[in-house]
Structure 1
Amino acid sequence: MSSSRAFHAARMAVLAVAAIAGAAGAQQVFRIVGPDGKVTFSDKPPVDPAVKAAPAAAGTPPGRAGAAAPGGALPFELRQVASRYPVTLYAGPSCAPCSSGRSFLSQRGIPFVEKTVTSAEDIEALNRLSGGSGALPLLTVGAQQLKGYSETEWSQFLDAAGYPRNSLLPVGYRPPAATPLVTAQPVRPAETAAAPESAPAATAPSTPAPQGPTGSNPAGIRF
């Protein structure tokens, strides 16, 4: 009897430890609405009491399917989330973490736009966007910026935004092609050379005033 009680007590202790560990590992993400109505996500509650915050709703549970959409269009459920919290991936060439992040988004079925960072103008724009960090990859979920690739962190914020955990993308879906962060402006042709100044209009020769008779020319005759 004593051995049975000891086994039961040990089992309860293991379950309690497992529950504590699970609670510690599950990091909560808060949905924060600022005074201006801007929605952001954070793993820390806001300090300002005027800012509203609530635990963000988890994403679609595994196994739940969305309504199918013909022609490669996004299902209604996924289209709603993507319109509220669009996802953009900023990536560079020869960037292994960027490739890992891209694969993660594709496997999870996240519709995203990719911006490539290759030129000096792209890098400058990225620094302005990220507050001078310039780290790649950079993922934006709505207004939230996630610097560097972390599958755990990306999953938490995608869940909080309401993206399904399983892909709901239709079979015919094709993601948009990656485009440069800064679009090159076409070079305009040189301004047409200014037209040469027009020659001054020819002036009619002035007619000398008639001369009256003088002492040497009493008749006033002109030749």
Structure 2
Amino acid sequence: MQNLMKAYPSKAVALILSLSALLLISSQAQAQMYKWVGPNGKIVYSDTPPPANAKKLASKNFESNSSVSTANLPPELAAVVSKNPVVLYTAPNCGACNEGRNLLKQAGIPFTEKTVKTNEDVDKLMQVSGDTALPYMQINKSKFKGLESNEWRAALAAAGYPETSKLPKDYRYSDPEPAAPQVAGEKKNADAKPQEAPKPKSTSSNGIRF
């Protein structure tokens, strides 16, 4: 390796960065998501097993950090995505959500988008953010409720994301997914009456606050 660095210093550095990123990505552990009914009758999603007396609904394996594929990303960007994944919660007919989505895409930030449409989605949003405000962005464990463009940009920079887009020209963002996806093997009850989420001030009909 030392001879390689002396002969081709720039190529050696690139090789080391690539290997480091691959090792970091491959070290991500598979975790498991559990779903059960809490004492108050509401559905709980968590990566920790439910209490022994809880009514278990289902569980599934999921990628512990991010569902964003890093296969075609530059090594430096792939490493940031793996360490500080970005998740964006949005809802239909939400102007601020559209602005937040556009901000991330224009900055070249790979992210996972989760849509809030159903009451289960609202429950999931409440669990991860403690509120119903949208858009909601999460960078690893840092939470950002509502769109504050300067705050978002500063947080992304602090997380290690580049100031200008490093995405390949052929990069395509994945389609949004439900905030509370149906777990395999779970059947939807079409006749069940959905629970209404609490409606804070200035909310939409389903309790989501913009």
TM-score range normalised by the length of the shorter chain: 0.5 to 0.7
Mapped to 1, the partners of 2:127 and 2:135 lie a distance apart of: 15
2:173 equivalent to 1:175: yes
Alignment deviations for residues 37-79 of structure 1 (CA, whole Å, 9 cap, x no partner): xxxxxxxxxxxxxxxxxxxxxxxxxxxxxxxxxxx81101100
What amino acid is aligned across from residue 141 of structure 2 in structure 1?
Answer: A
**For residues 190-201 of structure 1, what are the structure 2 equivalents within 5 Å?**
none
Alignment deviations for residues 123-167 of structure 1 (CA, whole Å, 9 cap, x no partner): 011111112x11000000110000000110000100100100100
Larger Rg: 1
Mapped to 2, the partners of 1:188 and 1:134 lie a distance apart of: 25
TM-score when normalising by structure 2? 0.54
TM-score when normalising by structure 1? 0.50
Deviation at residue 187 of structure 1 after TM alignment: 6.6
Q: Which runs of 5+ in 2 are unaligned?
A: 1-70, 188-210
The ranges of structure 1 where at least 4 consecutive aligned residues each deviate by more than 3 angstroms after the TM superposition are 185-189
CA RMSD of aligned residues (A): 1.9
**For residues 38-77 of structure 1, what are the structure 2 equivalents within 5 Å?**
73-77=72-76
Q: Which runs of 5+ in 1 are unaligned?
A: 1-71, 190-223
Mapped to 2, the partners of 1:176 and 1:111 lie a distance apart of: 9
Deviation at residue 184 of structure 1 after TM alignment: 2.2
Q: Relative to structure 1, is the Cα distance of residues 73 and 134 closer, same or farther in structure 2, using a 3 angstrom cutoff? A: same
**For residues 90-169 of structure 1, what are the structure 2 equivalents within 5 Å?**
90-131=89-130, 133-169=131-167
Deviation at residue 183 of structure 1 after TM alignment: 1.1
Q: Which residue of 1 aligns with 2:80?
A: 81
What amino acid is aligned across from residue 177 of structure 1 in structure 2?
Answer: D
Alignment deviations for residues 63-107 of structure 1 (CA, whole Å, 9 cap, x no partner): xxxxxxxxx811011000010000000000100000000000000
Alignment deviations for residues 15-57 of structure 1 (CA, whole Å, 9 cap, x no partner): xxxxxxxxxxxxxxxxxxxxxxxxxxxxxxxxxxxxxxxxxxx
Q: Relative to structure 1, is the Cα distance of residues 83 and 185 closer, same or farther in structure 2, using a 3 angstrom cutoff? A: closer
Q: Relative to structure 1, is the Cα distance of residues 168 and 186 closer, same or farther in structure 2, using a 3 angstrom cutoff? A: closer
Mapped to 2, the partners of 1:188 and 1:148 lie a distance apart of: 32
SS at match of 1:110: coil
What amino acid is aligned across from residue 73 of structure 1 in structure 2?
Answer: N
What amino acid is aligned across from residue 161 of structure 2 in structure 1?
Answer: Y
Q: Relative to structure 1, is the Cα distance of residues 77 and 121 closer, same or farther in structure 2, using a 3 angstrom cutoff? A: same
Deviation at residue 109 of structure 1 after TM alignment: 0.1
Q: Which residue of 1 aligns with 2:43?
A: none
Aligned residues: 118
Mapped to 1, the partners of 2:164 and 2:179 lie a distance apart of: 29
SS at match of 2:100: helix
Mapped to 1, the partners of 2:83 and 2:135 lie a distance apart of: 22
Mapped to 2, the partners of 1:114 and 1:101 lie a distance apart of: 11
Deviation at residue 188 of structure 1 after TM alignment: 6.3
